[in-house]
Amino acid sequence: MIIFDHKPLTIEDVQHIACQKPAVALSDDPAFLQQIARGSQFLQTLLEEDGVIYGVTTGYGDSCTTSIPPQLVADLPRHLYTFHGCGLGNVLSPLQARAVVTARLNSLTRGYSGVSVELLQQLTRLLQEDIMPVIPEEGSVGASGDLTPLSYVAAVLCGEREVFWRGQRRPTAEVFAELGIEPHRLRPKEGLAIMNGTAVMTGLACLAYARADYLSRLATRITAIATLVLDGNAHHFDEALFAVKPHPGQQQIASWLRRDLHAGEPPRNPNRLQDRYSLRCAPHVIGVLQDSLPWLRQFIENELNSANDNPIIDAEGEHVLHGGHFYGGHIAFAMDSLKTAVANIADLLDRQMAQMMDTKFNHGLPANLSGATGERAAINHGFKAVQIGVSAWTAEALKQTMPASVFSRSTECHNQDKVSMGTIAARDCLRALQLTEQVAAAVLLACCQGLELRLRQGDLAEEKIGSELLETLAWVRETSPTLAEDRALENELRQLIEQIQQGSWSLYSDKD
């Protein structure tokens, strides 16, 4: 059970909620509920005293100079989510929508957004019943937060637009009626509190981080197997060697490789002192991602556990604080950086694949790692087309690395004249991850084929291969048998990609 209260959430909490692993609940602690209620009560008091409050008694953005007649104040929040109902592009998956709802709920529980307890209860119920808003992924410039995509969350709370429920896309009103859920009527400031924040980019960033963390480990395991397949030199990962360049993440990757490869043993081919860079420098490439994870976590979790709407409501000090906490610059920078580190992993694995396929570089293995023998070898092409796919996916991943954050566009009558593009950066990062996971699945298949070919040729003895590498081979073979005769590999690749994205295999421990 994960309780939403004042305690901070972790990236892993968001990931687990998105995957529906724990139950969730809103805290029923009286002190917590009282603090939330104070913000809403303070706003109501200001309204009764004819206070001017941005987004409550004024229009939004550049329209802040427009005064709202008192009799229309209650209608303003609905207009906010209504005119923002212009999102386009693909829609977020239910898993991604859960991460978004989680991030928004967690921010509002900080107690500085002036929302009611009833609003938090309605958001919590969406997670409990798995009623996920259908959210178009395009339309946010990342300041004032994720206005357009989050308008779909606001509208769903009020019983409008569409949701995913029990595997179907349905009108929210129908689902609420079936479950006896009363649509919420947004109070003053509540529309702004839901929409004027960074929940979409932050929720997606949490999912991207978790996938990148796993990818770092998987790329290390693939590199270990590729080193055996290519008759490589495990001494490139020597502890004394890495002690003189003390990046801790890089050292961790080298340590995992040493363990996988029994690096203390003499090399099988002592005549070749140095392997090509895609083997020898693998810790240096993967290590950039591994060393980035701590500061990426700091950026993402700070944003996740912040109040990031505008204005901030300080009920205790009786202040309405106007600022720009909706600006998603930290997430934009984190995602722009992460997608570059991830795409470099695709490039590394692509180069390892190229070595394994080419008889000029693979030290005695069949061309294209074909498993066919005898006269049938002439018509079999092994992993030839898979390598072409790897090249295509790698190129597209590398193309995603142009930083989104430098493409700020002045908009909304130049009120939003410097914006973060954080949500675009997060979407780019997820695309780079998807492409790199496709590369990883394909290269992992090729590595397993190469390892079995080495065993078949007598170049390796099974007892000389580490148990965890053999375990990885066994995992892959549950989905994809040895390629002895050409066959279409699409379905097997898709299954492997899904297993990678679910983190299905245990790969190293941080204590190793």
Number of neighbours of residue 316 by Cβ within 10 angstroms: 12
Element (H, E) at 133: strand 132-133
Range of the domain at 485: 208-307+324-501
CATH number at residue 423: 1.20.200.10
Same domain assignment for residues 214 and 271: yes
pLDDT tens by residue, 265-313: 666 666 678 999 999 999 999 999 999 999 999 999 999 999 999 999 9
Same domain assignment for residues 248 and 279: yes
Mean pLDDT value across the chain:
95
The residue ranges of the chain whose pLDDT is under 70 are: 50, 263-271, 510-512
Exactly one of 54, 60, 81, 508 is catalytic; name it.
Answer: 54
> Residue-wise over 478-502: b if at least 16 C-beta within 10 A, else e?
ebbeebeebeebeebbeebbebbbe
Last residue of a domain, one of 197, 217, 236: 197
Same domain assignment for residues 176 and 223: no
- Phi, psi (5° rounding) for residue 7? -75, 145
Structure tokens at 79: 């207009």
What local confidence, expressed as pLDDT, does residue 264 receive?
Answer: 60
In a domain, 338, yes or no: yes
pLDDT tens by residue, 103-149: 999 999 999 999 999 999 999 999 999 999 999 999 999 999 999 99
Q: What is the Cα–Cα distance from 449 to 382, expressed in whole angstroms?
A: 10
Q: Which residues pair with 312 in a beta bridge?
A: 321
In a domain, 480, yes or no: yes
What local confidence, expressed as pLDDT, does residue 51 receive?
Answer: 72
What local confidence, expressed as pLDDT, does residue 265 receive?
Answer: 66
pLDDT tens by residue, 411-451: 998 989 999 999 999 999 999 999 999 999 999 999 999 99
What local confidence, expressed as pLDDT, does residue 48 receive?
Answer: 82
Number of neighbours of residue 17 by Cβ within 10 angstroms: 26
In a domain, 41, yes or no: yes
Last residue of a domain, one of 178, 197, 216: 197
What local confidence, expressed as pLDDT, does residue 365 receive?
Answer: 97
Same domain assignment for residues 215 and 340: yes
In a domain, 507, yes or no: no
DSSP secondary structure letter of residue 134: -
81: annotated active-site residue: no
Do 492 and 380 meet the contact criterion of CB atoms below 8 Å apart?
Answer: no
Same domain assignment for residues 359 and 294: yes
Q: What is the Cα–Cα distance from 140 to 435, expressed in whole angstroms?
A: 23
Same domain assignment for residues 212 and 82: no
Strands of 345-504, DSSP E: none
Do 348 and 219 meet the contact criterion of CB atoms below 8 Å apart?
Answer: yes
Same domain assignment for residues 192 and 215: no
In a domain, 406, yes or no: yes
The Cα angle at residue 116 between residues 115 and 121, in degrees rounded to 5: 110
Q: What is the Cα–Cα distance from 251 to 253, expressed in whole angstroms?
A: 5
Last residue of a domain, one of 174, 197, 220: 197
Same domain assignment for residues 256 and 361: yes
Same domain assignment for residues 169 and 213: no
Total structural domains within the chain: 2
Same domain assignment for residues 220 and 148: no
Same domain assignment for residues 111 and 186: yes
CATH number at residue 136: 1.10.275.10
Same domain assignment for residues 233 and 298: yes
